[in-house]
Amino acid sequence: MLSEDGVRLFDFGLGLATEGPLKDLPHLNRNRLNAWTPGYAAPELLDGSPLSARADVYGVACVLYELASGRHPFRRLSSTQARVDGLEHELKAPPNLPRRCWSALRTALALDPGRRNIGAAQLRDALGGVSSWW
């Protein structure tokens, strides 16, 4: 969504606080409601696994990659199709992305959730201070 203050990403009420004062508020059953865009959904979600912080990091990483490069990391294919096609091995750092940021973003884009061992805060910290490339 575009506002007077710029671009805003939001989740239509699907967000779930995992800590802090909002963590005990009622929320939608995210395990029953499949409300994601296939091109940005982690492969484990498309395979039927429950939502997780790692899956959220994958989706954010897809958006960040697209913002930095102007294109989707996996040619707008679903992550499961990207995995079948072996596109993860073709993934290149966006030319405008500072070199020091690529390792964190690349980790967040891992199609294997076991290799996606970076949290949202770590990804934020790795990309911190580089707003000039947006």
Angstrom distance (rounded) from CA 95 to CA 21 = 40
pLDDT of residue 96: 86
Residue 10, in any domain of the structure = no
44-92: pLDDT as tens digits? 988 888 888 999 999 999 999 999 999 999 988 888 889 898 989 999 9
Does residue 6 or residue 39 have the better pLDDT?
39
Residue 6, in any domain of the structure = no
Neighbours of 110 (CB within 10 A): 20
Give me the CATH number covering residue 107. 1.10.510.10
**Structural domain span for residue 41:** 30-122
Q: Is residue 102's pLDDT more than 90?
A: yes
- Exposed/middle/buried for 48, CB within 10 Å: 0-12, 13-18, 19+? exposed
Q: Enter the tokens of residue 66.
A: 């697209």
| Cα-based distances in Å from 12 to 1, 24, 77 | 11, 18, 23
112-133: pLDDT as tens digits? 999 999 999 999 999 887 655 5
pLDDT of residue 12: 47
First to last CA, the chain: 16
